[in-house]
Structure 1
Amino acid sequence: MVTHPTQSELATLYERDIALWSNLMADLLRRGQFDQLDLEHLIEEVIDLGRRERDRLVSAVRLILHHLLKWHYQPERRSRSWVKTIQRERINSQSYLEDTPSLKRIQTQDWLQKIYKIARKEAALETELSLDTFPEDCPYSWEQVFDEGFPEDLGYRFK
């Protein structure tokens, strides 16, 4: 690698090997060589970092909703793995919210409905039940999504 790469070389490196590019950016930051940073891509990556954190929480909530739907609409097929998935993703969600408290901003009805819309389709696909089987609007609140005691018949509680 060139000691003082040009902006063009940095852009090429970003496209070709993002891991090497990120190591170089970290090294430049550590050395205080701010004038050599690939700011355009660095800003893009910082923005993406926030999105990735949000997407981790959204994914966990989606899985919880998906499995709650299966739990409520296919009681004859309930399994211990569904319980484990619901509880594992509740633990993950709590961890994400503790590590990144600003993610609490997505705990709105709009976000819940947006996530539910996807979970509903996934539940229909997996269960092979008609999409119309599941309510169009999310039947769960944020509190229920994160509540270890919901639903009461889930059968697994942390002590």
Structure 2
Amino acid sequence: MSKILTQILYEQDYHLWLATTLKQLQERDLDHLDWEHLIEEIEALGNEQKHKLESYLLQLLKHLLLYQHWSLPECKNHWEVEIDNFRVELKKLTKSKNLYNYLLTVLEEVYIDALRQAKKKSRLNCFLQICPYIMKWNY
């Protein structure tokens, strides 16, 4: 398939474009690849993974803060389950060393958002201003 047809395919049938691009890559048909859209898709995939990581990290940190500082017995079990769920999801994402390193670079920034949300939800002001949690998984 020509490069022009592949580019048109991207606009009209994304799933067929994916299958065609995969086949072209497998066959090392680099001359007919739709490079522009392929690069765009790879960038979007990386950004999507980072966004997902930040979202799970935010929820984990917020729940850790609430669990540690807000004594609502009826919520403790729910928060424990949520903490475990967010840890599982983060562990899956951070199997990629690149995403694990990214997590370490955004930890403090995301903690600030989690801190703001925990304060708003609990109306408490007892939280540490610097993230007290360490995110470490063994590979």
- TM-score, with structure 1 as normaliser: 0.67
Q: Is the 8 A contact 1:13 1:21 kept in 2?
A: yes
Q: Equivalent residues in 2 for 1:132-147 (5 A)?
A: 133=125, 135=127, 137-141=129-133, 143=134, 145=135
Q: Matched residues in 2 for 1:124 and 1:16: separation?
A: 47
Q: Summarize the Cα distance change of 1:52–1:68 in structure 2 as closer, same or farther, 3 Å threshold.
A: same
Q: Aligned-pair distance for 1:24?
A: 1.3
- Which stretches of structure 1, 4 residues or more, deviate above 4 A after TM superposition? none
Q: What is the CA distance between 1:18 and its match in structure 2?
A: 2.4
Q: 1:23 to 1:118 in 2, by over 3 A?
A: farther
Give the one of 82, 85, 88 matched to 1:88: 85
Structure 2: how far apart are the matches of 1:103 and 1:86? 19
Give the equivalent residue in structure 2 for 1:17: 13
Partner of 1:61: 57
1:111 aligns with 2:106: yes
Aligned match of 2:30: 34
Helix, strand or coil for the counterpart of 1:92?
A: helix
Contact 1:120 1:134 in 2 (8 A): no
Q: CA deviation at 1:107?
A: 4.4
Unaligned stretches of 5+ residues in structure 2: none
- Give the C-alpha shift of residue 124 in structure 1: 4.9
CA contact (8 A) 1:28 1:37 kept: yes
Q: Number of residue pairs matched? A: 136
Q: CA deviation at 1:94?
A: 2.2
Deviation at 1:81? 1.9
- CA-based RMSD of the aligned residues comes to 2.8
